[in-house]
Amino acid sequence: MSVHNTEIAEAFEEIANLLEIRGENPFRVRAYRNAARTISDLGEELSDRVERGEEIVGIPGIGKELALKIGQMVITGRITQLEELRQAMPPGLLDMLRIPGLGPKRVKTLYHDLNIHDVNQLAEAARAGKVRALPGMGEKLETSILKAIETRRVEGKRFLRATAARYAESLLEHLRTVRGVKQISLAGSYRRARETIGDLDILIEAADSTAAMEAFTTYDEIQEILAKGETKSSIVLRAGIQVDLRVVPAESFGAALQYFTGSKEHNIAVRKIAQAKGLKVSEYGVFRGEESIAGRTEKDVYAALDLACPPPEIRENRGEVELAASGKFPKLVEASDIRGDLHNHSTASDGANTIEEMATAAQELGYEYLAICDHSKRLTVASGLDEKRLAKQIKEIDKLNESFKNFRLLKGTECDILEDGSLDLDDTILAELDLVVVSVHSKFNLPRDQQTERVLRALDNKYTSILAHPTGRLILEREPYDIDIARVIEHAKQRGCFLELNANPMRLDLNDVHCQMAKKAGVLISIDVDGHHVRDLSNLTFGIGQARRGWLEKKDVLNTRPLKELLKLLNAVRNG
């Protein structure tokens, strides 16, 4: 049973969290966090290195002590230090870390000051008004904690789609090798590109259901088998994700795919249309009385109801069913439409690759351009650039551009928006850049009006091009800061600048509803990976999924433009 890099990284992150809650040396805590990030970004599995007898020491951030722990986990599946830390501390503390807004420092305060050991005790303390009295907490956080706990209770445990993707795609590849498998597809919220998923649904058409079920229930990533039958089985993967597999006949595959893709609200709307036509729609097909009239493909199912087949990402009953009746769906943006990326970092700030390495990776993807937007000076934790260092980087990019053919590096910055709405760098240096990406990295708890005015003032700077990750959320970790996004969109429209859809799977910010709002207002969206490593460029797929959920078309997306047109749009912002 192989151990994946994600599992090693998660173990190191857990060690770091427990050490920080205990109050251990911050440098030691940081070493584990840095190692976790490095391991997550590696292109090869460390278990393969260990099995080949190759050294792990030498990977940046991995010293002898950490290398030994990696080897121990690869060989035994566990790390002794982590087990000892778990035994020494209440197990519920780690669960508390999954509450948005609660990092290790706040959990440490709750544990030591209020003797809170788990989420239930936390809820009791919050309801009693005890949390707000602690330093660095407040009434707003207390309310947010209670809301998050209630949401968890209702929805259950959820996973980032990107996390689920790593396991889902591997499992699909495993099942495709099974003799007699003819069709296979993921369904559910995963297929609809939801930001998070509760479980995975897989549908298979197979000549031999027994062989498919055997391969599924003997998969080497299984933690637990919940049920095993002839046509349906359920397992829990080691990552904690439940997976349900259904084997369906060819004549019902399309109907089952439509039904299990959902959403529930979309399916209800479709059933109402069927009923009005004297038909019945189910996971088995479309029926007129006892006669099956469609079911082999999704297209057939919708066509039997005189509907066009809507893209899975927009099946949320937000107008797509009515549009299906007209057959006039928008042609949603695709990854192949993207001509470049406008928000990336290098080793000059907190990136893992040099500017040249990022440029090479972008060219290998067929991009026409890539913007380097390292952090500005205020973000010292990310080695942000001051005016002098940025001026030096500008010259470096100019020199690199001389060596490129049919590709251009764009000179940019991710400039911090300060509390008063001013920008972190002088206009004199901003004027030398191709674009200025602005973002909030501090003071997340400002009142709604103040936070909104802060961002609006930043947009008013003539050099501001793009507002990055506009609500500041980290999915499953940090709630969005309180901001009037409708006012921000309207202001961006008036100024002629752009908003970002950050494709980092933990952000996906703007969300789908905000993307629709921006589209309606005529504000162009830049889909950017916020890359800190060459491999981050592959996160575009998650940004595209979110954009499609927001009904964005190619024309709605800034970085679908060829370079010449893009530069005209960027120049128009500062000259408008």
Write the CATH number of the domain with boundaries 1-89: 1.10.150.110
Is the previous residue joined to 263 through a cis bond, with omega within 30 degrees of 0?
yes
Cβ contact 127:104 at 8 Å: no
CATH superfamily of 159-247: Beta Polymerase, domain 2 (3.30.460.10)
Predicted pLDDT at 42: 74
252-326: CATH topology is: Beta Polymerase; domain 3 (3.30.210)
Output phi, psi for 266, to 5 deg.
-65, -45
Q: What pTM was computed for the model?
A: 0.82
Q: Is 521 left (phi over 0), alpha (psi -120 to 50) or beta?
A: alpha
Tell me the Cα Rg of the chain. Answer: 25
Q: Which two tokens stand for residue 413?
A: 């910055």
* Rounded distance between C-alpha atoms, residue 169 and residue 182, angstroms: 17
Predicted pLDDT at 100: 79
* Rounded distance between C-alpha atoms, residue 34 and residue 341, angstroms: 26
Enclosing H/E stretch for 246: strand 242-247
Predicted pLDDT at 156: 66
Cβ contact 410:436 at 8 Å: no
Enclosing H/E stretch for 515: helix 512-521
**Count of other CB atoms within 10 angstroms of residue 135:** 8
CATH superfamily of 335-575: Metal-dependent hydrolases (3.20.20.140)
Closest of 144, 215, 189, 105 to residue 445, by C-alpha: 144
- Give me the average pLDDT of each 10-residue run along the chain (576 residues): 78 91 88 86 78 75 85 86 88 84 88 90 91 87 86 76 92 93 96 95 93 94 91 91 95 97 94 94 94 96 96 96 90 98 95 94 97 94 92 97 96 97 97 97 92 98 97 88 95 97 96 96 98 93 98 98 98 88
CB half-sphere exposure, 16, CA atoms < 13 A: 20
Predicted pLDDT at 154: 60
Question: What separation in angstroms does the CA of 144 have from each of 138, 149, 322, 477, 484?
Answer: 10, 9, 36, 12, 18
Q: Which residue has the tokens 């989420």?
A: 119
* Rounded distance between C-alpha atoms, residue 533 and residue 512, angstroms: 26
Question: What separation in angstroms does the CA of 126 have from each of 26, 120, 409, 444?
Answer: 28, 10, 50, 20
Q: 23: burial class by Cβ within 10 Å (0-12, 13-18, 19+)?
A: exposed
91-156: CATH topology is: DNA polymerase; domain 1 (1.10.150)
Predicted pLDDT at 78: 83
CA dihedral (178, 179, 180, 181) in degrees, to 10, reads: 20
Domain residue extents for the chain: 1-89, 91-156, 159-247, 252-326, 335-575
Closest of 534, 538, 537 to residue 357, by C-alpha: 534
* 498-502 and 466-467 beta bridge pairing: parallel
* Rounded distance between C-alpha atoms, residue 513 and residue 551, angstroms: 9
Domains 1-89 and 335-575 share a fold: no
